Structure 1
Amino acid sequence: MRIEIYAIGNDHASDHAIILFAVNLFASIKGIALNAKDNCTYRKTGFKEAQPDVS
């Protein structure tokens, strides 16, 4: 799923935290193993790179 949120700032940080908390809570309740990455860069040679807030 891809969710577009505000530009960097207070609102962005708040939304980021809420989304991360909600996903973590859902995974915990359902017993789903979770491996979260915060502010990673994903690169593939010959393609564009991406820098999601959380993945």
Structure 2
Amino acid sequence: MSAIFNFQSLLTVILLLICTCAYIRFLTPSLLDKNKPGLLGIFWKCARIAVKS
């Protein structure tokens, strides 16, 4: 079964995405910038969520 249809798996994938983005931002802050459009901008938002909490 896909992670999209299983709620617990979907939450796990989202949590791993947020933690991974925060780690990447910690290592290379210039890679994730709030002014970048598209996927890198979404990754920056995920990293920002991890820093706020």
TM range (shorter): 0.3 to 0.5
TM-score of the pair, normalised by structure 1 = 0.44
Give the structure, 1 or 2, with the largest relative contact order (CA under 8 Å, sep 6 or more). 2
Q: TM-score if structure 2 supplies the norm length?
A: 0.45
Query: Going by fraction, where is helix more abundant, 1 or 2?
Result: 2
Looking at CA atoms only, which structure, 1 or 2, has the larger radius of gyration? Answer: 1
